[in-house]
Amino acid sequence: MRLRENKAMHGTSWIQIPSQITAVNFLRSKYQSHTDHTAFLPPYNSISGHPHCSLPSLRFLHSYLRSIVMNDVDTKPLLSSKLSNYTDAANSHQRRRRASANPSSGRPSPGRAQSFSRDFGHAAAETYLVTRLTFTLLRYLGVGYRWMTRLAALGCYALLLMPGFLQVAYYYFFSSQVRRSIVYGEQPRNRLDLYLPANSDEPKPVVIFVTGGAWIIGYKAWGSLLGQQLAERDIIVACIDYRNFPQGTISDMVKDASQGISFICNHIAEWGGDPNRIYLMGQSAGAHISACALLEQAINESEYGKRESISWSVSQIKTYFGLSGGYNLLNLVDHFHNRGLYRSIFLSIMEGEQSLQEFSPELKIQDSSIRDAVSHLPHFILFHGTSDYSIPADASITFVDALQRAGVQAKLVLFEGKTHTDLFLHDPLRGGKDELFDQLVAVIHAGDKEALSKDAMAPPRRRLVPEFLLQLARKISPF
């Protein structure tokens, strides 16, 4: 197969594609290697001579590639022929992307006022993205009877919690203390949100938060409730967005998370953060991704730190908080399959069965060849509910045991009877006293007597959802 590149941009040149590389992989690799992605797209009738490229499939490839050029948020492998056209929304996204291309656009600017129309437009765009992520999940999981019932349960679940969701959404979109979509890298979804305390008289501790979402529907806004409540305790929260499957696979997610951590470590002082008090936290899939990023960075420092510059160091992370995470993928494949995240999809996310051990922190830290790297890991505190059916509590129990055997300071906190959503969603929406929240704040403010005294005098957190709605939501939760 031969592909003629765009003559206007590059002149007439021919590239021979090895027989073992399909047309799909070649075109996607060409797309990813160009800064001007429209420059290489050929007309579909200029591709010929390849056994996998009939004319209808070439038309489909050309249409697909042009769609991902128009919309970098929807770049994904050709795993399904059911592709949707989001051209209008993509054009809007591209205009926002160009407007934020200047790195200085992410810096805080005193006195900046956002108009209501701009906030409303941003809210509409975020709502659109959330909706599309939901349908992306359903498309890859299949829409049989099982998933139709789960979709109905999810809809009812969201409606029951809507009183709280609306209040949090209003804060997220319209509060002056939230800095949304700060650019931290060049890849799609390389954005983060900052939640800033109202009081900025001195440098504040910082929590870098990586959200969950089954590696498919993770999104930075999922951390808005946590961000709001920690900001009320004078703690800055940075919620990192990252490429999800099928836009990226696990190595892309880990790379994005690491780059977001690096950005915060190097720039958070510009927003009033204390670079000497940075904490890393992940929930569910985000706990797995952030643990992988932390371990990978420790290995890089151990192997290359003396010869090459590094953008951030594990020594900058005071404590790692893992909430309801899974850290041994080999033990979870069958469990996820029975829960509906089918084995074939999960292995695609994790880049094949041969990569499961590579992206299992619990197994990797037992490798004697990286013992020096493991010794540099920060303090680990893992939280898990004993009634978590999405990721069983055993996932945290065995990881803590492995960490302690490897010489890492690690602690496990189990919450009796709590489910996957209780700790992260139901309890914060309930307001009042929250044991997980209190433990987080106590660790972050340890040694700061003034902050601890303020915490002791802080008023109870406001209830966002009536108790009977929370109880109903808990009973029909699909998680």
State the DSSP H helix or E strand holding residue 97, giving kind and residue range, or none if neither. helix 87-99
Unique residue bearing structure tokens 């493991």: 374
C-beta of residue 192 within 8 angstroms of C-beta of residue 239: yes
Q: Which two tokens stand for residue 99?
A: 């407007």
Please say if 284 is a catalytic residue.
yes
- Write down the catalytic residue from 37, 50, 62, 420: 420
C-beta of residue 25 within 8 angstroms of C-beta of residue 61: no
Q: Which two tokens stand for residue 216?
A: 């498919």
Please say if 376 is a catalytic residue.
no
Distances 207 to 97, 274, 310, 368, 413 between C-alpha atoms, Å: 26, 11, 21, 31, 19
CA pair distance 13, 463, nearest whole angstrom: 65
- Write down the catalytic residue from 284, 290, 324, 390: 284
- Write down the catalytic residue from 241, 252, 388, 427: 388
Ramachandran region, residue 214 (left: φ > 0; alpha: ψ -120 to 50; beta: rest): left
Please say if 420 is a catalytic residue.
yes
Length of the chain, please?
A: 479
Backbone angles phi, psi at 293, to 5 degrees: -65, -40
Which candidate, 353, 211, 378, places its Cα nearest to that of 297?
378
How many other C-beta atoms are found inside a 10 Å radius of the C-beta of residue 306? 7
Residues identified as active-site: 284, 388, 420
